Amino acid sequence: MSETLFIDVWSDVVCPFCYLGTRQLAKALENFEHRDDVVVRHRAFELDPGATADPGVALPELLAKKYSMPVEKARSLNERLEHEAADLGMNWKLANARPGNTFDAHRLIALAASQNKSAEMNERLFRAYFSEGLLLSDHGVLESLAGDIGILDTSSLWVSPLFVDEVRHDENQAGELGISGVPSLLIDGKFMVVGAQGSDQLLSVLQRAWARRTAA
């Protein structure tokens, strides 16, 4: 058996729980004694595949409409999430977030993965959306963010079908596994964790996964 323990993470870059979960996983790995044997693979999942490139609607209004709640309640929920993010060292500004289609952002992550920089690209996209109010469907924005971390050949994505199949494969695999919400983490191909469960819970699952493989 390979010593490498793979963690497949299905997420979307406009999903607050995915960003929280990513930080929680990072914290769990800091305390996992076998962390040098872990490889995290970022998998694509679109929360709203039918979203337009730029709906032109602020996030609180979009949430209010989607979940049939007052706008003020949506704002209150966002403020609660901002507090949770602050506890993990992040400064979110959800009032400035600009929802939009994320398919091309996932293609960019796949391109980054081919250059061994998927984690950096994923984090940069999260920060752009949650803290900087940038529109992640805008190709100019995506190219600029890719440039921030040294990703090459980004412009080729917009004039070709590069990494379309890879994104669709991730989404199809999510469907086959019954994944309907994110973040969803498949640890060592056997343990599924859904939602931002906290770093302690993730560490516990990592330890169980490692113990199971060594006992086999």
What's residue 216's pLDDT? Answer: 64
> Residue 2 pLDDT more than 80?
no
The pTM score is 0.95
DSSP state of 184: E
SS3 assignment for 106-156: HHHHHHHHHCCCHHHHHHHHHHHHHCCCCCCCCHHHHHHHHHHCCCCCHHH
- CA 188 vs CA 8, 30, 114, 209, 213: distances in Å: 8, 18, 22, 7, 9
SS3 90: coil
End-to-end, the C-alpha distance of the chain in Å comes to: 10
Residue 115 CB neighbours (<10 A) = 15
Domain-wise residue ranges, the chain: 1-45+181-216
Chain centroid to Cα 62, Å, comes to 20
Residue matched to tokens 């058996």: 1
Asked whether the beta carbons of 210 and 5 are under 8 A apart, the reply is yes
214 pLDDT band, cuts 50/70/90, is: confident
Question: Per-residue pLDDT tens for 147-196?
Answer: 999 999 999 999 999 999 999 999 999 999 999 999 999 999 999 999 99
Asked whether the beta carbons of 97 and 129 are under 8 A apart, the reply is yes
Q: CA 174 to CA 163: how far, in whole Å? A: 17
Q: What angle do CA 152, 16, 183 make, to 5 degrees?
A: 80
Asked whether the beta carbons of 102 and 47 are under 8 A apart, the reply is yes
Question: Per-residue pLDDT tens for 19-59?
Answer: 999 999 999 999 999 999 999 999 999 999 999 999 998 99
Asked whether the beta carbons of 71 and 60 are under 8 A apart, the reply is yes
Which class is domain 1-45+181-216? alpha beta
Q: Find, among 27, 11, 6, the residue nearest to 202 by Cα.
A: 27
